[in-house]
Amino acid sequence: MAKRIIKFDANLAAAFLLGIGTCLLLLICLSTPITEASQLFRLLATIEGVQREVEFGLWGYCILPIAWEESEVVQGCSGPTLGLEIDSNILKALHADPSLLGILHKQLTWSFVLYPIATALTFLTCVLQLGLYLSKKRPFLIDAKSGRTLTRSFIFGSAAMFTALIASALQIFIVGKAKLCVTSYRTMYDDIFLYWGNLVWLTVVGTIIHFANLILLFAMRLNVAKADHDEHKAERRQYLKRINEISDHDLINPPLPRTLPPPR
């Protein structure tokens, strides 16, 4: 039996990469307190021999319960909100000094809104690439052989990558600055530790996927441009060949004049 050869389709590969990138960015957007699957960072303090942990996400925090209840502390998750900061409830839960309030700046954490924007751009680019793949088998509104369509996809993909890259850089800066502040705070006050969450690794993987997709789209655009150039050269050669054939035929059998010269 003849082996079936599976052909590589760049549009399908790009759509697959963008699908993974969309899922990762969506998981980042659904961080604490919406879901507890992904966290930005964690604050950990030891209170009377028991560890108290506060998990932070893009839109809020969750105070994990301990063995006993504290009337002044509201355990559980806060409501999703734009802008992250340390409030009095966190200070009471960690038995921390008010100087801990300065580790986060609410205005700076407003930049986390870039993640939903990057998710939407990535999803649109994924749909466009999937449409390019499907249009090869069943042509409809999208022209799979058009360089303009690939250019639009490249623009959307570039916008998504740079948006995610800026959001990732700001996230790393915010958490890194908070960790330095907590380290400085620990030398003067209680033993409070900050640990990085898994959002950092999710954003790094998502950025790498976007970069790989841009390389793939750029290679596809170059192939389309080369194919257009080769087609134009072939048409030019065919045109010149027809001109030469007509010229040779005229030299061998010159055309008769339309009107006879007058008799002398």
Place of tokens 């957007």: 29
* pLDDT greater at residue 68 or residue 39: 39
| pLDDT band, residue 255 (cuts 50/70/90) | low
Position 7 pLDDT exceeds 70: no
CA torsion angle 203 206 207 208 (round to 10): 130
The pLDDT tens digits for 142-198 are 555 556 777 777 788 888 889 988 998 999 999 999 999 888 887 776 678 899 999
Go through the domains of the chain in sequence order and give each one's CATH number.
10-232 (1.20.140.150)
For 102-111, give one letter per residue: b (16+ CB within 10 A) or e. ebbeeeebeb
Confidence at residue 100, expressed as pLDDT on a 0 to 100 scale: 85
The two structure tokens encoding residue 122: 């990535």
Rounded to whole angstroms, the Cα distance separating 262 from 40 reads 100
* pLDDT greater at residue 261 or residue 80: 80
Position 116 pLDDT exceeds 90: yes
| pLDDT band, residue 1 (cuts 50/70/90) | very low
Confidence at residue 6, expressed as pLDDT on a 0 to 100 scale: 47
N- to C-terminal Cα separation, the chain = 84
| pLDDT band, residue 68 (cuts 50/70/90) | low
Helices (H), the chain: 10-29, 88-94, 106-109, 114-137, 147-186, 199-252
Position 41 pLDDT exceeds 90: yes
* pLDDT greater at residue 38 or residue 242: 38
Confidence at residue 257, expressed as pLDDT on a 0 to 100 scale: 58
* pLDDT greater at residue 189 or residue 65: 65
The pLDDT tens digits for 80-96 are 888 888 888 888 888 88
